[in-house]
Structure 1
Amino acid sequence: MAVRIITDSVSDLPGDLKSAYGIEVLPLMVNFGEVSYRDGIDLSPEAFFEKLKSAEMLPTTSQVNVGQFVECFERVIEAGDEAVVITLSSKLSGTYSAAVTAAEEMGSETISVIDSRFVSFGQGLLVLKAAEMAREGMSREAIVKACGQLTERLVMLIFVDTLTYLHKGGRLSGAEAMIGGLLSVKPILHVKDGALAPLDKVRGRKKSQKWFEQYLETHAPEFSEESVGFFHAADPQFMEEMIDVAAEMIHPSKIYRSTVGAVVGTHSGPGCVAFAYFRK
């Protein structure tokens, strides 16, 4: 009896990692007006950000529904397997609730649903940990317990390039966005209690990198040689610059690279870079 790891497309897992660990990913829907796309299937991150540039209104997203989870869980049960399902934060989508409802409808005790309380590759980093544990032969119950502990240690920082999309999404007033643009203010966000929240702001891209250097120095006792994740929204060059800083200062055992998808990208816009790690 195998333990399968299932997640949603907001985890932004690179294709090679999904294949390597046999992770099943259920897509959210991304809606530009009347046209809907399966996130990561019909619409790649690159195509999403191209469409976002010319969109007059922000796209909307639709959660993975109960029916999709039921179909997935039926396959798991028919194969005689168990599953650990890790969704994006329940504060940002109804996907977690849909997964719980589907598991209850199936009446099976072999499917466990976890609210990651994160998004994008912050969530993806937790999924990879679960997949590693499943590969090592750990039980479903042990994986669930370990993921609960890992979630408490997970940290995610997001360096935003423009305030335009935060304004479009209702996170900033027009005046704040205009002034921020004139002053070249770069917000720094983090995930707090399952939601995106402001952490700091700097003036200019170079100061974002300097802030990151100071953060790594200040939080040095938190870092171990565990894997870390970097992910970008249509700005691989800035991501690589931030990776160089981290590689020199904290020496992680492995650095994962990924691309921000539609959910975080809708509010961050192109040009953001994010960093996720597990505290000691």
Structure 2
Amino acid sequence: MRVGLVVDATCDLPAEFLQAHGVRVLPIVLNVAGQRFIDRREPQATQAFYQQQLPTVLAGDHSQPLPVLELQQWLLEELVTEFDYLLCLTVCSQRSQIFEHATQASFGLLQCYRERRAAAGLTGPFAMRVIDSKSVFAGVGLLAAEGVRLIGSGAHPNAIRTRLEQLAGQTCTFIVADDLAHLRQRGFQKGDRSGLLDKVRGAALGLGSLLDVKPVLSVQSGADKPVALSPTFDKSAEKLFAHAARRVAANELLAPQLCLSYAGDLSVVRDLPGFAALEQLCAERAVALQLSMLSATGAINLGRGALSLAYAAPAKAFD
């Protein structure tokens, strides 16, 4: 049985990793400054987006999933004959309709895949299961990386789906935004201009203006909250790296993966205090550390210079 994994374009993993393991990327539509772009998570296109479109992002600009019929056609043309069992991992369903659209498209495929497979000389059935990551950005990447590992181990696809659904509820994702003016203008959650930012402002009371601090934000099972504050981006990143390192050192990870993404030149991340120590620790503990660009969707919401980190572990207070 040929088991495949498809992720949406918000999934933060290196292009080289996706290509090496045959992970397919479901395109997303970006609407920026009155123009429509298709995001396929191509590194050069993402870099160009950071430089050309991101500075023009307005409060109403957003990403959206392909329409159901268009998504269904993409699956039919690209994947139905390449795989026998397809796992589709999407960004948190509370923040995007991608999960809903992919689920509807998977039902539609049941009515039309046989003819396409027969024309390709394939007689066996095709199955597709859609998984809600309950996470964003590096969190989606974390689950995808673990899915790749499980597929490579020869695990049964139903066991892989069950395992990823379990880990989705235990994926800890963190965000440090550098451009808080951008974050304040847009809000983090599409359609919500107050929730998260009100929490950040509340946490910042007594510490000065929102623009004078850089919060570490936690996103778990769709809920978000600030967990730490520092006067600079570097200090917040250092706190986050130290927290992740403690969890790795304590052997608390439920999957041997740690994902990091950044909206900018990745050399900046490598120069941040605490990154080198975290990278070395992961290598010593056989934890795969994946460093990639933040998705264009992430950049639209969080702004240039945003950092995302994720691992899977039992819930624990940020220290």
> Does TM, scored on the shorter chain, surpass 0.5?
yes
Measured in 2, the distance between the counterparts of 1:210 and 1:14 equals 22
Per mean C-alpha deviation after superposition, the further-off stretch among 114-123 and 237-246 is 237-246
Corresponding position of 1:134: 151
Per mean C-alpha deviation after superposition, the further-off stretch among 63-72 and 144-153 is 63-72
SS of aligned partner of 1:271: coil
The structure 2 residue matched to 1:66, chosen from 65, 68, 78, is 68
Measured in 2, the distance between the counterparts of 1:65 and 1:42 equals 24
Corresponding position of 1:86: 89
List aligned pairs for 1:23-62, cutoff 5 A: 23-39=23-39, 40-41=41-42, 44-52=45-53, 54-55=55-56, 57-58=58-59, 59-62=61-64
Q: CA 1:33/1:139 → structure 2, altered by over 3 Å: closer, same or farther?
A: same
SS of aligned partner of 1:264: helix
The structure 2 residue matched to 1:105, chosen from 85, 103, 108, is 108
Residue identity matched to 1:232: Y
Residue identity matched to 2:217: L
Q: CA 1:260/1:217 → structure 2, altered by over 3 Å: closer, same or farther?
A: closer
Measured in 1, the distance between the counterparts of 2:28 and 2:82 equals 25
Residue identity matched to 1:55: T
For residues 230-261 of structure 1, what are the alpha-carbon distances to aligned partners after superposition, in whole Å with 9 as ceiling and x for unaligned? 11111524421242131355644222110101
List aligned pairs for 1:244-263, cutoff 5 A: 244-248=276-280, 251-253=284-286, 254-263=288-297
Corresponding position of 1:5: 5
The structure 2 residue matched to 1:266, chosen from 291, 300, 316, is 300
Per mean C-alpha deviation after superposition, the further-off stretch among 57-66 and 40-49 is 40-49
| 2:147 matches 1:125 | no
| 2:160 matches 1:143 | yes
Measured in 2, the distance between the counterparts of 1:132 and 1:195 equals 27
Measured in 1, the distance between the counterparts of 2:82 and 2:262 equals 37
SS of aligned partner of 1:199: strand
SS of aligned partner of 1:44: helix
Q: CA 1:56/1:14 → structure 2, altered by over 3 Å: closer, same or farther?
A: closer
List aligned pairs for 1:168-183, cutoff 5 A: 168-169=185-186, 170-171=193-194, 172=197, 179-181=209-211, 183=212
Measured in 1, the distance between the counterparts of 2:265 and 2:82 equals 41
For residues 165-221 of structure 1, what are the alpha-carbon distances to aligned partners after superposition, in whole Å with 9 as ceiling and x for unaligned? 111113548xx699222x2x1021121322543333221234314423552466453
Q: Is the Cα contact below 8 Å between 2:28 and 2:65 reproduced in 1?
A: yes
Measured in 1, the distance between the counterparts of 2:145 and 2:171 equals 13
Q: CA 1:137/1:214 → structure 2, altered by over 3 Å: closer, same or farther?
A: closer
Measured in 2, the distance between the counterparts of 1:106 and 1:236 equals 39
Corresponding position of 1:192: 220
Measured in 2, the distance between the counterparts of 1:35 and 1:97 equals 24
Q: CA 1:163/1:52 → structure 2, altered by over 3 Å: closer, same or farther?
A: farther
Per mean C-alpha deviation after superposition, the further-off stretch among 189-198 and 30-39 is 189-198
Measured in 1, the distance between the counterparts of 2:160 and 2:302 equals 32
Q: CA 1:70/1:96 → structure 2, altered by over 3 Å: closer, same or farther?
A: same
Corresponding position of 1:229: 259
Q: CA 1:271/1:131 → structure 2, altered by over 3 Å: closer, same or farther?
A: same
Q: CA 1:224/1:248 → structure 2, altered by over 3 Å: closer, same or farther?
A: farther
Q: TM-score, structure 2 length as denominator?
A: 0.76
Q: CA 1:82/1:218 → structure 2, altered by over 3 Å: closer, same or farther?
A: closer
Aligned residues: 276
Q: Is the Cα contact below 8 Å between 1:232 and 1:273 reproduced in 2?
A: yes
SS of aligned partner of 1:93: coil
Q: Is the Cα contact below 8 Å between 1:224 and 1:252 reproduced in 2?
A: no
Identity of aligned residues (%): 22
For residues 98-139 of structure 1, what are the alpha-carbon distances to aligned partners after superposition, in whole Å with 9 as ceiling and x for unaligned? 011111222377111100111223201211211222233222
Measured in 2, the distance between the counterparts of 1:120 and 1:33 equals 23
Corresponding position of 1:243: 275
**Which stretches in structure 2 are left out of the alignment for 5+ residues?**
112-125, 187-192, 315-319
